């Protein structure tokens, strides 16, 4: 109608006014495969009409399904010297793709995408630096089925280094994996030391080893969960479940350690007939059964009773890929209850210690374990609180969690190894030679509880010359 009106006006004023009829050009949209094909695996495969891919235009503010006249351009982009890079967009993925009405592909790489529910009073993410725009010729779009259905794009890696130098990218993609690696190495060193040393393989030492292994599994699963190239939704769900269940198991084992110390100080007869092996089995039955039951309950609640998400209601793929709010509540609320129980054990044990005037050998040994338990409780609680803060959208809290997570492993290594004099003594005695002439490699003559048989001085021929028994 508008075109007819323009032609009519121009015909009336022909010769006096120069009229130009506007030319409407459709927006070119690059498609990786032919119109009747989609990507199945790595091959373009012909499909029926219902399974074909059609471009969906979205405004910068998040308004979807905008009607735009378009034309498909078939073929991958010619990147030249730049690298061709794949991007996957599916439900709950960190990478989001949006085709703007002007034909530009916008890639949000931090899961912070404006939508029509969040767009209020002209606010958008235009100035946050959390996206990158690809012009025509630098990308192609298509549907891809590879385990899950996702929107796929081949893009030309940009030459500039603005993306790689932003604080968000450095903290989450470089500093965060390094922090996880440091923590995993320190926890693995604690587990090896307490497992290899014979005098450390008592009940408290076995619990420390188990806590370290649980935290190692939690760190590995959390690192896998943060990888944006990890595409399978089932694997992501398994990684999250392992992360939360391992963290929950670590706090239940810490609760068992606090209960063991409190009960031993409370008991009048510390020379019980039950062995440390049987005690470890009893505490293990308590910790693992609670962890498994709560984990299964959380997963059941996630798949059956979890709250619906507005973003997932609009997505084409309805399969959930991350544990929902109700499942996370079931995972994290028991941790808070174990911390409260540990505080009660700490207060009662400290009250009992203040009333004691003489200590036996076992009580002296447990005093070191009690100090280690208190420091571990403070460190793990602090790490857990910052881990909860990492689920927020505030960059300061997320970066604080990354820094605290980097300090978690060294702090636990200091608490369990360096701060324990008998452990450092055993390390020096095992790792250094007695006939070493270097004073720094020679262990001290003093030892702690349980180290009587290791406090033997031998001469160069290996014969025993002096045997020292340390009494407390």
Domain that holds residue 64: 26-156
Tokens 């089932």 sit on residue: 234
The confidence score (pLDDT) of residue 424 equals 78
The confidence score (pLDDT) of residue 23 equals 56
How long a stretch of residues is the chain?
472
For residues 149 and 271, state if they share a domain: no
The confidence score (pLDDT) of residue 124 equals 44
| Distance between CA atoms of residues 414 and 62, nearest Å | 49
Please report whether residue 8 resides in a domain.
Answer: no
Tokens 């398994």 sit on residue: 238
CB-based contact 386:160 (threshold 8 Å): no
Q: 255 is written with which tokens?
A: 């609760």
Phi, psi of 177 (to 5 degrees): -60, -35
For residues 388 and 248, state if they share a domain: yes
For residues 152 and 222, state if they share a domain: no
For residues 121 and 255, state if they share a domain: no
The confidence score (pLDDT) of residue 315 equals 37
Of 419, 438, 465, which marks where a domain is finished? Answer: 419
Angstrom CA distances, 46 to 41, 43, 147, 149, 151, stand at 13, 10, 18, 16, 17
Please report whether residue 203 resides in a domain.
Answer: yes
The confidence score (pLDDT) of residue 423 equals 82
Of 419, 440, 456, which marks where a domain is finished? Answer: 419
The confidence score (pLDDT) of residue 229 equals 47
For residues 60 and 114, state if they share a domain: yes
CATH number at residue 37: 2.170.180
For residues 185 and 125, state if they share a domain: no
For residues 152 and 238, state if they share a domain: no
Of 97, 123, 156, which marks where a domain is finished? Answer: 156
For residues 132 and 184, state if they share a domain: no
CB-based contact 190:409 (threshold 8 Å): no
Please report whether residue 2 resides in a domain.
Answer: no
Please report whether residue 424 resides in a domain.
Answer: no
| Distance between CA atoms of residues 97 and 144, nearest Å | 14
CATH number at residue 300: 1.20.1070.10
The confidence score (pLDDT) of residue 165 equals 59
Please report whether residue 214 resides in a domain.
Answer: yes
The confidence score (pLDDT) of residue 3 equals 47
Instruction: Tell me the whole-structure pTM to 2 decimals.
Output: 0.63
For residues 297 and 415, state if they share a domain: yes
Please report whether residue 305 resides in a domain.
Answer: yes
- Give the number of domains in the chain: 2
For residues 250 and 348, state if they share a domain: yes
Tokens 């203040």 sit on residue: 354
The confidence score (pLDDT) of residue 285 equals 94
Please report whether residue 454 resides in a domain.
Answer: no
The confidence score (pLDDT) of residue 461 equals 37
Please report whether residue 102 resides in a domain.
Answer: yes
Walk along the chain (472 residues) in steps of 10 and give the mean pLDDT of each run. 48 44 74 91 86 87 84 87 83 82 85 50 46 88 87 80 63 86 94 87 90 94 72 69 93 94 76 72 93 92 68 38 81 94 93 73 75 94 92 84 92 90 78 52 49 40 37 32
Q: 469 is written with which tokens?
A: 């028994």
For residues 243 and 370, state if they share a domain: yes
Angstrom CA distances, 223 to 94, 180, 240, 401, stand at 14, 7, 10, 13
For residues 173 and 139, state if they share a domain: no
The confidence score (pLDDT) of residue 314 equals 36
């Amino acid at each position: 109608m508008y075109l007819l009106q323009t032609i009519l006006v121009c015909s009336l004023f022909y010769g006096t006014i120069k009229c130009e009829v506007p030319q409407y050009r459709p927006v070119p949209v690059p498609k990786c495969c032919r119109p009747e094909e989609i990507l199945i695996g790595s091959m373009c495969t012909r499909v029926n009409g219902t399974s074909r891919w059609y471009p969906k235009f979205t405004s910068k503010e998040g308004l979807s399904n905008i009607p735009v006249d378009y034309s498909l351009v078939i073929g991958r982009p010619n990147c030249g010297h730049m690298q061709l890079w794949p991007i996957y967009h599916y439900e709950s993925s960190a990478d989001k793709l949006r085709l703007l009405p002007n034909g530009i592909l916008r890639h949000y790489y931090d899961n912070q995408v404006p939508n029509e529910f969040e767009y209020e009073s002209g606010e958008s993410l235009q100035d946050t630096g959390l996206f990158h725009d690809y012009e025509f010729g630098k990308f192609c779009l298509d549907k891809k089925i590879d385990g899950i259905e996702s929107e796929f794009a081949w893009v030309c890696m940009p030459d500039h280094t603005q993306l790689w130098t932003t604080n968000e990218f450095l903290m989450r993609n470089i500093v965060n994996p390094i922090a996880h690696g440091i923590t995993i190495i320190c926890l693995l060193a604690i587990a090896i030391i307490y497992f290899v040393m014979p005098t450390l393989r008592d009940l408290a030492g076995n619990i420390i080893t188990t806590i370290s292994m649980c935290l190692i599994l939690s760190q590995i699963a959390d690192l896998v969960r943060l990888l944006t190239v990890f595409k399978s939704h089932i694997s992501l769900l398994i990684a999250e479940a392992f992360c939360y269940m391992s963290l929950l198991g670590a706090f239940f084992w810490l609760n068992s350690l606090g209960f063991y110390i409190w009960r031993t100080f409370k008991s009048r007869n510390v020379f019980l007939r039950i062995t440390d092996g049987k005690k470890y089995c009893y505490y293990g039955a308590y910790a693992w059964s609670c962890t498994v039951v709560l984990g299964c309950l959380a997963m059941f609640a996630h798949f059956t009773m979890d709250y619906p998400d507005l973003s997932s209601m609009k997505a084409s793929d309805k399969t959930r890929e991350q544990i929902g709010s109700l499942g996370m509540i079931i995972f994290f609320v028991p941790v808070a209850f174990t911390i409260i129980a540990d505080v009660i054990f700490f207060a009662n044990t400290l009250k009992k210690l203040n009333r004691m005037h003489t200590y036996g050998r076992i009580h002296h040994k447990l005093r070191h374990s009690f100090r280690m338990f208190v420091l571990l409780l403070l460190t793990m609680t602090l790490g857990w609180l910052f881990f909860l803060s990492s689920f927020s959208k505030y960059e300061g809290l997320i970066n604080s969690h990354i820094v605290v997570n980097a300090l978690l492993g060294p702090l636990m290594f200091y608490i369990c190894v360096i701060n324990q004099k008998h452990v450092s003594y055993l390390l020096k005695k095992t790792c250094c030679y007695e006939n070493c002439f270097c004073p720094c490699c020679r262990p001290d003559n003093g030892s702690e509880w349980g180290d009587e048989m290791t406090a033997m001085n031998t001469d160069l021929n290996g014969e025993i010359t002096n045997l020292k028994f340390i009494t407390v």
